[in-house]
Structure 1
């Protein structure tokens, strides 16, 4: 991770490169570290919905489908906001967008303590937290990776993806203990305070572009001037979507990533705890198992980033989806009142594969769509969250209708097999100019 920083051959009028100096560690790695801590800290708000299903059902009498619908709104907005957030970061800078997003999250999570009707849950947790979390989505990690790195992008995207997914899960033991001991309102306040605590780190330590501190991106041989703010963020976001949607790889990436979201955030993160509780497993034990998934996700996603720098992304995706599908088919046989060795094996195996799909998906977006890849990935991420939102809702409905989650596990396993096939048929981009979306 060492790199020699040399003076720029040409620097923009707004700033010049620093004199030649040898840095033991390139500043890009510090920016990545701040981004990692920011995503982990902000991810507390993503940990709570699965823990709220039973408490809200007991206190207000809301069906699991109603609570699942609020989670669905949250997940859908999380995805649909992401591509616009990527464009807003190009317009206003990373620090401003992320700081405002964290504040909105804190307001939405904190306001839930006063709610008395289901529509208020939709407003606070669905709308406000959904919009804020969408601006903190993986498009944030993609933007940081694209701006600060030209080498090791797969590794860095894997690390930052692990922060997002694992941060959602490692908070679960604490929040489940709070819910069990002090009820759900103190847990919501904890989430709000966690989001606010991250804001000073973002504002004081994060930088928008290497040119802001007179550096080259990591691995670059040339100084890259800071680009001028791009006006018309919404128009640009929709234009990129229109161009990318004319290409086959976009729909294959979006479709497979929708299944990825359905089988992770929508299904396991939202419904694993209540499904385990149906089999008389204590909530705290089920939440601890999800936290273990988060621990192994770090290793799996970072390894996936390393693999992405070295192996064919399409084949990696196919393997990841196929293995995930197999594990989900066996899960209904493993649920029991107590944690046992086969369940631990599932947790470790599934954790290694949790979001290992992100680095190769991001790499394929970068290969196909060049400079617009962060926005295109935002739209692909939107499909991920729409898939998650649909299954978060349908999972609750299935539980209300059939009295069991089994049918949802089996259906998700079949969908993962379809995603593996979709990944294999994505064509390589031929040499030459990038598609119109990158123009």
Structure 2
């Protein structure tokens, strides 16, 4: 009937209470909450405090919390009859304008992915900030973080990168998407910042009958698998695979130039290896606006790897953990490899990011290699997860480059599986 009833047992004990309040926190994604003594506020998540007198506790009338469930009109299938799913199940829309918190209208670009499934009223969507970090772009070891004496890697401000929320579609008249509720967060789409809207299919029960995957991240959309299962998700011995679906690796220098010196950033395309793509932007060679002051050189922009210098390797991309520095040329420390991407240091389920792309190696003999792509994002919500299965979100590796510089490896992506019943996920293997 579109609602869930939560009842609390009657308390009747002589135990001495040591706390003043019992706290109830409702954290169930996109629910509309009505508390035990108030009215619903659309889209609001509330912290409820139920007073408890200190001293012997007298019987308390059970509190009731009513939470409106997701719109069930767009849930496919029926209980006990799983929908068989395989391939690319999400549709991706790049945002083309900023969207502010407290508003509900977004402007979208051309859809990619499963384009047979367009947006309809009642559909569930994920809005996620893909890129929003800012970096120092000086040609010194302050590159990236802005801190002198460092590795020439990192960021000044991570911004809202990785921030996301779920919402329900009220209407869609291309290119205008109207949501049923206002946004909680603001999202930015200008300069080197980008966010996308992902259609999230909803199923009553679902069963994997083959590999689920995502469209490649293309600089503005893609790279994500997200599904919602109201009942049981049966992995059925299959795989969700977003290996290499994340931020892209840097491109080789266009000529066989001899790169010498500590070139943290260069606009010239024919000397140093190219920087990878990451949360701070997309190089021109990959279809983006490029990093300020240049897309080449050993400096690592945020979580992307830097390019190699004179036959040296590109730096590895990063996500939570840091990337690795590229290899030196011919066991020499006279020429400098690409610096490693910087990781955020601690996994945060409220922020999900693609794996950073590796930096390109440097070539002067025609056999250098591009940087490798990072891993994608997987977000699964189900009441129960059964069966054995695997989620792959690894970054790619770069081939051997002979006497030139190899590319840096891509970083692993992000995986979040939310099973509402809280049962063990021991039959699920995650590689990232």
TM-score by length of structure 2 reads 0.28
CA radius of gyration, larger in: 2
The structure with higher relative contact order (CA 8 Å, sep 6+) is: 1
Structure showing the higher strand proportion among its residues: 2
